Amino acid sequence: MKRVGVLALQGAVREHLQSIEACGAEAVSVKWPKDLESLDALILPGGESTAMRRLIDRYNMMEPLRQFAETGKPMFGTCAGLILLAETVVGEDQPHLGVMDVAVERNSFGRQVDSFEVPLEINGIEGAFEAVFIRAPHIVSAGPSTEVLCVHDGKIVMAKNGQFLGCSFHPELTEDHRVTAYFLSMIPSKSGLLLPN
């Protein structure tokens, strides 16, 4: 069974854990560096990116998260998690993890009171996905190796760059688990063995 962690310092942690389990994988709450051991993939949830960064620093998680990224295992950032993954954050001197070849801008769709839901067409996912946007960032630009998966209102809101997946919205706040399932499909098969015909 695939073991998928959710960084559990702040944000929509419980909802991501439930979505992972709904997809048939084992969900692991990650609060300490040791919790990253033996994971197959990791989700950085939505929340408040500044508060999340403070907690990452307080719990000495930044370097372990960078080391996890270097293993090549898939990482998925939703909303604030996308900001943590991005190589460039508009208006900030330094990125956080800086591992995904995108530039992001915070609060691109207004304040908390401007939250909304909208059906999106996402490459690789059949049928519309009802997405929840809450103080969401968007991807201003994507590098040549980055695949744009979804655009809303002229703004990139979901992209994939190698093992990194990022989206502006909160897929975990719906009962539709297809975006989580898409992320889990990025985890390589453990066996790698070809079955005989």
pLDDT in tens, 148-184: 999 999 999 999 999 999 999 999 999 999 999 999 9
User: Residues 104, 83: contact at Cβ < 8 Å?
Assistant: yes
Domain 3-184 class in CATH: alpha beta
pLDDT at 82: 96
The pTM of the full predicted model, rounded to 2 decimals, is 0.93
pLDDT in tens, 63-73: 999 999 999 99
Whether the predicted pLDDT of 196 surpasses 70:
no
Q: Are strands 147-152 and 129-133 parallel, antiparallel or unpaired?
A: unpaired
pLDDT at 12: 87
Note if 16 is an active site residue. Answer: no
pLDDT above 90 as % of the chain? 80
The dihedral formed by the CA atoms of 57, 171, 159 and 118, expressed in degrees to the nearest 10: -130
Mean pLDDT value of segment 136-144? 94
User: Residues 27, 20: contact at Cβ < 8 Å?
Assistant: yes
User: Residues 108, 145: contact at Cβ < 8 Å?
Assistant: no
- Give the whole-angstrom CA distance, residue 143 versus residue 107: 21
H or E, element range at 140: strand 138-142
Note if 79 is an active site residue. Answer: yes
Question: Of 79, 138, 167, 177, which one is the catalytic site residue?
Answer: 79
